[in-house]
């Protein structure tokens, strides 16, 4: 009571937070009070609260500090004060990841969890599970099983949720406790039912068949818990995603639209519209439910509905137009988030004529909404630019105004991304876009964004109408910004110099000034570019200024190999695979916020690491770097006794087949496993590396090394494969094989194809000038072949033709020529890359569309005439 009064007084004094200005060491000192007898519950509860507060404020405790506090805290178990005890549970949970020997409270917690005090039991279970490690798990298993089926819903829920957490310690916990969970599923408490379903799902998660059975059983009974029903909908959707054509599941989801709980109705509608495969007609019932929610009195429902509609509008604008009237009403919603979503949805579904009006409406409150929703607006504008290219001026202006506003990195990056995307999609917008971006970097506090924009300017600026106008903006960065921005600016300048000879003398002056910079990196770059650019101008300079993005680990390995060789021939850089470039998803759904997830290692790099672990492969690996790794090819049906997948690794002259095998029979142990192949004509099997032991459910790998045929034409082939092994029967539970000798057995696998795409790849020079390279090819004595094809019936669009050609050849599209303009009837696809062994290949495909039939004129130039012939002959 006293403290309450004091707090109130402090509040009036303006000193709100009683925990302000606490010091970690002082508080930990106070924790010694825990050792006093008898325990003073009120005092100890206060101190414990302080400790919890500190930890939750991000204060770091050392192991010793935490352990001491933890030990002192264990003394509090002698108090019977309920509040204090529950704080102790929290303390245990917070300290258990840091302190040592936390399992000493196991018995005390087990006692509380099985005791009579209901206020203790659920919380004790949660605390117990956080301190339990693999070794202790067995000791508590019995209690946990009992708790799952306990009469008290709180206890049962706590035990169910904890068993989900425990799966990180022991993967099969959920399966071992599935019987109890099954019983809990019959509980009439909504939460228990939901949590039990969660555990049952976890138990079956890896076995699709079992999930299907569970779902189809439960869809027939009706779930009383709305939470469980929502989860069931999600499980059904996941199954539907994996296999289509399960009408029963779809009917179930659709029937949930008539559920009596709004939550379930929403979940079902959300699921239906997100299923991707649904057609506009199938969407109609879901959309009308959402439409109904738009008029709800509950803001949360309105929000959920409009947010979902907003998303659907990207893929199925026509389906959403039915809600236009309801959405118009929501523009005036007192909740700004709802209003924003309503407007941006209308922008997607509305006609071109309404764009101006809606943009004006957004402008009135765009400054009031949070960054997250500003990003939604940006997204909508991005979609609009694609839909109405003629509106780009209005929209660009709007974007640049937004760019000047306050905002976080993510928001600004989304705007910059949108401007860049608009520029790429619409050449008319390029000049304006670059101008807006230049203006933006004049005053941009986000370093990473400034660096990206400078990079873009360096790439796009030189080919604009008036390159010289960008130089001032870029050079200003060198004067005004931090080191990393300055370095990026120097590189951008160098690109202008290399690509626009008239600018060279002036830029050289600027670059020589940069050589006086205080930062090492900036100086180094400037010195490097000055040195290259001062040499006589020739086209090769460009690739030095703008080097291809090579895979660094592969380059390192190749250089190491080269250094240990006699080094008689010059180092061949064309052997090095490019660094992986992440293609932006070209789905209809445009997510401006989707961060480009740059995986640190490319496929080849990861495989290279893996192959380097196999000593027998060292010989092949030392001769040339890994040229290309194919996607995974399944050689078996998915649910068979043995599962074999293949990855084809191409080297200059060798083909390494990596077979990943899985034995799904628990009563068999396989030994000496290999994949026998019949080498096609011209191929030679160099050696096999068998997998010595393939136990149940433990993946194993065997390799076969082949030499490519001399004649490249023979390299495209079909290889019959068979799995051969020594099988031994074993005890399914222990995996120990019987004493008797095994028997030889074999198992037929699917044929393996070696394709053109396995042997060709791009070189990561996104910015190359195709025409220059094409012409240079002629002067360098490349042989050229040209042929005309009519593409098969499966290809009916230009996009389809581009996609299948890129996939078939394995080359890389340059100058963004893989993007086909909408409604175009003709397109030219430009491809570049190399054939294994470093043979350059260029290809130009002129495509024409007439009556859903695509005709293609394909010209190929290559440094090796056989390769050129191989390409044209295998397309036909």
| Interface pick for other proteins out of 33, 40, 67, 106 (rule CB under 8 A) | 106
- Name which position in 105, 129, 451, 806 contacts other proteins (CB under 8 A): 105
- In the complex, least distance from residue 103 CB atom to other proteins, rounded to whole angstroms: 6
Nearest-approach distance from CB 148 to other proteins, in angstroms: 19
Beta carbons of 120 and 113 less than 8 angstroms apart? yes
Q: Which of 70, 71, 303, 470 binds other proteins (CB under 8 A)?
A: 71
Phi/psi of residue 581, each to 5°?
-105, 140
Give the shortest CB-109-to-other proteins separation in angstroms: 9
* Residue (105 or 457) nearer to other proteins, CB: 105
- Residue closer to other proteins (CB basis): 111 or 213: 111
Q: Which of 33, 49, 67, 74 binds other proteins (CB under 8 A)?
A: 74
Interface characters, 76-95, with other proteins (x: CB under 8 A): -xx-x---------------
CB of 129 to other proteins, least distance (A): 14
Nearer to other proteins by Cβ, of 37 and 596: the residue is: 37
Q: Which range of residues in 98-106, 167-175, 241-249, 495-503 is near other proteins by CB under 8 A?
A: 98-106
Residues 495-554 that bind other proteins (CB under 8 A): none
Determine which residue in the list 8, 42, 59, 104 makes contact with other proteins, applying CB under 8 A. 104
Of 42, 111, 165, 780, the one binding other proteins (CB under 8 A) is 111
Smallest separation, CB 85 to other proteins (Å): 11
CB nearer to other proteins: give 108 or 515.
108
Q: Which residues in 530-542 are b (16+ Cβ under 10 Å) and which e?
A: bebbeeeeeeebb
Q: Which stretch binds other proteins (CB under 8 A): 69-77, 421-429, 588-596, 757-765?
A: 69-77
Tell me how many degrees the CA angle 280-584-461 measures, rounded to the nearest 5: 125
Complete DSSP assignment for 84-121: HHHHHHHHHHHHTTTSS-GGGGHHHHHHHHHSS-HHHH
For residues 139 and 821, which CB has a smaller minimum distance to other proteins in the complex? 139
CB of 77 to other proteins, least distance (A): 4
* C-alpha distances in Å from residue 513, one per residue of 376, 475, 499, 506: 43, 11, 20, 11
Long-range contacts of 301-308 (CB under 8 A, 24+ apart): 301/262, 301/266, 302/330, 302/333, 302/335, 302/338, 303/335, 303/337, 303/338, 303/341, 304/266, 304/270, 305/266, 306/330, 306/338, 306/341, 306/342, 306/345, 307/341, 308/266, 308/269, 308/270, 308/273
Closer residue to other proteins in complex, CB, 37/279:
37
Site for other proteins in 2-61 (CB under 8 A): 35, 37-38
Give the footprint of other proteins on residues 669-698 (CB under 8 A). Answer: none
> Shortest approach of other proteins to residue 92 CB, angstroms?
11
Angle, helices 82-95 vs 63-74, to 10°: value is 160
Report if residue 626 touches other proteins, rule: CB under 8 A: no
Site map for other proteins, 114-153, x if CB under 8 A?
x---------------------x--x--------------
CB contact burial 645-684 (16+ within 10 A = b; e otherwise): bbbbbbbbbbbbbbbbbbbeeeebbbbebbbebeebeebe
Neighbours of 222 (CB within 10 A): 9
The H or E element that residue 828 is part of is: strand 826-835
Do the beta carbons of residue 551 and residue 577 sit within 8 Å? yes
d(CA 387, CA 381): 10
Subset of residues 311 to 350 that bind other proteins, contact rule: CB under 8 A: none
CB of 855 closer than 8 Å to CB of 785: no
CB nearer to other proteins: give 114 or 459. Answer: 114
Q: Which is nearer to other proteins, 71 or 470 (CB)?
A: 71
Q: Which is nearer to other proteins, 74 or 701 (CB)?
A: 74
Binders of other proteins: how many residues, by CB under 8 A? 19
* Region near other proteins per CB under 8 A, out of 55-63, 70-78, 311-319, 645-653: 70-78
- 842: alpha, beta or left? (left if phi > 0; alpha if psi -120 to 50): beta
Nearer to other proteins, 23 or 133 (CB): 133
| Contacts with 182 (C-beta within 8 Å, 6 or more apart), sequence order | 196, 200
- Whichever of 132 and 759 has its CB closer to other proteins, that residue is 132
* Concatenated DSSP letters of 26-54: HHHHHGGGGGSSS--HHHHHHHHHHHHHH
- Residues with Cβ < 8 Å from 575, sequence gap 6 or more? 558, 624, 625, 627, 652, 838
Q: According to CB under 8 A, which one of 3, 56, 107, 463 is a site residue for other proteins?
A: 107
Which residues in this chain contact other proteins in the complex, by CB under 8 A?
35, 37-38, 71, 74, 77-78, 80, 103-108, 110-111, 114, 136, 139
């Amino acid at each position: 009571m006293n403290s309450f009064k004091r707090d109130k007084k402090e509040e009036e004094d303006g000193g709100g937070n009683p925990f302000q200005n606490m010091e970690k060491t002082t508080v930990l000192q106070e924790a010694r009070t825990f050792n006093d007898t008898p325990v003073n519950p009120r005092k100890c509860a206060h101190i414990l609260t302080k400790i919890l507060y500190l930890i939750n404020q991000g204060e770091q405790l050392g192991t010793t500090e935490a352990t001491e506090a933890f030990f002192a805290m264990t003394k509090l178990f002698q108090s019977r004060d309920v509040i204090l005890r529950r704080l102790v549970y929290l303390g245990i949970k917070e300290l258990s990841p840091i302190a040592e020997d936390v399992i000493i409270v196991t018995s005390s917690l087990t006692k509380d969890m099985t005791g009579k005090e209901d206020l203790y039991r659920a919380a004790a279970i949660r605390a117990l599970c956080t301190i339990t490690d693999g070794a202790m798990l067995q000791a508590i298993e019995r209690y946990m099983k009992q708790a799952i089926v306990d009469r008290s819903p709180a206890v049962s829920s706590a035990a169910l949720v904890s068993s989900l957490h425990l799966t990180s310690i022991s993967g099969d916990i959920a399966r071992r406790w599935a019987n109890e969970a099954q019983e809990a599923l019959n509980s009439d408490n909504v939460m228990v039912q939901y949590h039990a379903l969660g555990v049952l799902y976890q138990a079956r998660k890896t076995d699709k068949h079992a999930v299907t059975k569970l779902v189809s059983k439960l869809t027939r009974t009706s779930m009383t818990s709305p939470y469980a029903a929502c989860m069931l909908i999600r499980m059904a959707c996941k199954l539907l995603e994996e296999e289509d054509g399960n009408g029963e599941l779809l009917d179930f989801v659709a029937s949930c639209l008539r559920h009596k709980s709004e939550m379930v109705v929403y979940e079902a509608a959300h699921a239906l519209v997100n299923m991707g495969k649904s057609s506009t007609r199938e969407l109609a019932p879901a959309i009308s439910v959402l439409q109904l929610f738009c008029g709800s009195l509950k803001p949360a429902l309105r929000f959920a509905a409009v947010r979902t509609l907003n998303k659907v509008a990207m893929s199925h604008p026509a389906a959403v137009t039915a809600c236009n009237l309801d959405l118009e009403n929501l523009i005036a919603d007192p909740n700004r988030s709802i209003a924003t979503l309503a407007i941006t949805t209308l922008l997607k579904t509305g006609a071109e004529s309404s764009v101006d009006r809606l943009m004006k409406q957004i402008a009135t409150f765009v400054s009031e909404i949070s960054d997250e929703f500003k990003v939604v607006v940006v997204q909508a504008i991005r979609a609009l630019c694609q839909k109405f290219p003629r509106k780009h001026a209005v929209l660009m202006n709007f974007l640049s105004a937004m760019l000047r506003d306050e905002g976080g990195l993510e928001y600004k990056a989304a705007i910059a991304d949108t401007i860049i995307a608009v520029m790429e999609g619409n050449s008319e917008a390029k000049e304006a876009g670059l101008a807006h971006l230049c203006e933006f970097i004049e005053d941009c506090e986000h370093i990473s964004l400034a660096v990206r924009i400078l990079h873009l300017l360096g790439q796009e600026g030189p080919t604009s109408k008036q390159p010289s106008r960008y130089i001032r903006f870029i050079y200003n960065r060198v004067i005004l910004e931090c080191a990393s921005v300055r370095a990026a600016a120097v590189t951008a300048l160098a690109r202008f110099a290399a690509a626009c000879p008239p600018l060279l003398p002036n830029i050289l002056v600027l670059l020589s000034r940069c050589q006086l910079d205080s930062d090492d990196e900036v100086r180094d770059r400037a010195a490097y570019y000055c040195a290259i650019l001062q040499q006589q101008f020739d086209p090769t300079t460009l690739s030095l200024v703008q080097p291809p993005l090579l895979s660094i680990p592969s380059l390192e390995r190749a250089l190491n190999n080269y250094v240990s060789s006699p080094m008689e021939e010059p180092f061949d850089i064309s052997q090095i695979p490019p660094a992986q470039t992440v293609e932006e998803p070209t789905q209809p759904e445009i997510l401006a916020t989707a961060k480009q997830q740059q995986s640190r290692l490319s496929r080849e790099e990861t495989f290279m690491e893996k192959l380097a672990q196999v000593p027998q492969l060292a010989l092949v690996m030392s001769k040339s770097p890994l040229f290309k790794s194919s996607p995974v090819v399944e050689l078996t049906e998915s649910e068979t006794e043995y599962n074999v997948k293949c990855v084809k690794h191409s080297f200059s002259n060798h083909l390494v087949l990596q077979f990943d095998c899985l034995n799904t029979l628990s009563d068999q142990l396989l030994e000496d496993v290999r994949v026998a192949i019949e080498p096609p004509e011209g191929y030679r099997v160099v050696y096999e590396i068998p997998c010595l032991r393939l136990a149940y459910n433990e993946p194993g790998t065997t390799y076969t090394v082949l030499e490519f045929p001399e004649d490249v034409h023979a390299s495209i082939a079909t290889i019959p494969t068979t799995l051969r092994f020594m099988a031994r029967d074993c005890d399914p539970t222990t995996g120990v094989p019987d004493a008797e000798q095994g028997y030889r057995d074999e198992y037929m696998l699917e044929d393996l194809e070696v394709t053109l795409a396995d042997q060709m790849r791009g070189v990561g020079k996104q910015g190359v000038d195709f025409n220059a390279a094409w012409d240079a090819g002629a002067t360098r004595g490349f042989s050229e072949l040209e042929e005309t094809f009519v593409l098969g019936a499966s290809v009916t669009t230009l996009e389809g033709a581009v996609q299948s050609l890129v996939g078939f050849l394995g080359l890389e599209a340059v100058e963004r020529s893989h993007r086909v303009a909408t409604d175009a009837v003709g397109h030219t696809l430009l491809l570049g890359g190399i054939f294994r062994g470093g043979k350059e290949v260029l290809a130009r495909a002129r495509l024409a569309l007439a009556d859903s039939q695509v005709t293609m004129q394909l010209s190929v130039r290559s440094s090796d005439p056989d390769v050129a012939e191989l390409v044209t002959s295998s397309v036909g």
